[in-house]
Structure 1
Amino acid sequence: MSRYITIISTIIESGSDTGLIALAAAGLQDISEWSIDLEDCDKVIRIVSAKDISNEFCEKLALFGIKASVMQIFDDRYHLM
C-alpha cells in the first residue's frame, strides 16, 4: 500500500480551530495519522495517508473557514512529489 506524507501550511486564528482540523481529518478515510505544530509560524499540519488527499483536505478546511495551502507532498519513499 502506498503512503503519502503531506505538509500543509494553515492560518489558524485560535486553539479551538484544532477541533475543526480534527473534524476535517475524520471525514477522510484515507488519513491514518495527522499532527499540527502550533509552535511553527506556518501552523503546519502533517498528514499521513494512503493516497494524495491534499486538495480534498484543504477544501474541507476551507468549509470550516480555515485557510490552508499545500507546502510539500512526499511518497512512500519520501520522494518529493
Structure 2
Amino acid sequence: MFIIIIKTSLHSGDQVATFKELLDIDTGCRIKSWSIDLDDGDKVLRVVAMFDISATLLFKLRLSGIECAMMGMFAGAILYP
C-alpha cells in the first residue's frame, strides 16, 4: 500500500466533485480511500492506493487546472484492525 500526500489549490466542494469524477474514471480500482482537507491551509489530498499512482494524480490535478505539489509518500503494509 502507498499513502500519497499532495498539497493542492482545491478550494470548493465543486472542484472536489470534479476531481472525484476524474479519479473514478481511471484510478478507482487502485485507490482504497482518499480524502481532501479543505480546512487545512495546504488543502491536503491524502490517497491510500495499491500502487504508486502519484504521477497520475499530479497529472490529473494539473490537467484540471489545479495547482499541486507532492508533499510525501509512504510505502508499506497498512494493518487494519
* TM-score scaled by length of structure 1: 0.83
Supply the AA of the counterpart residue of 1:40: D
The runs of at least 4 consecutive aligned structure 1 residues that moved more than 3 Å come to none
In structure 1, the residue matched to 2:19 is: 21
| In structure 2, C-alpha distance between the alignment counterparts of 1:35 and 1:13, rounded to whole Å | 13
Matched-pair contact (CA < 8 Å) for 1:33–1:48: yes
In structure 2, the residue matched to 1:69 is: 69
Q: Which runs of 5+ in 1 are unaligned?
A: none
Q: Percent identity?
A: 37
Matched-pair contact (CA < 8 Å) for 1:4–1:74: yes
| In structure 2, C-alpha distance between the alignment counterparts of 1:8 and 1:24, rounded to whole Å | 16
The SS at the match of 2:69 is strand
| In structure 2, C-alpha distance between the alignment counterparts of 1:50 and 1:76, rounded to whole Å | 10
The SS at the match of 2:20 is helix
CA drift at 1:77: 4.6
Q: Which runs of 5+ in 2 are unaligned?
A: none
Matched-pair contact (CA < 8 Å) for 2:11–2:38: no
* TM-score scaled by length of structure 2: 0.83
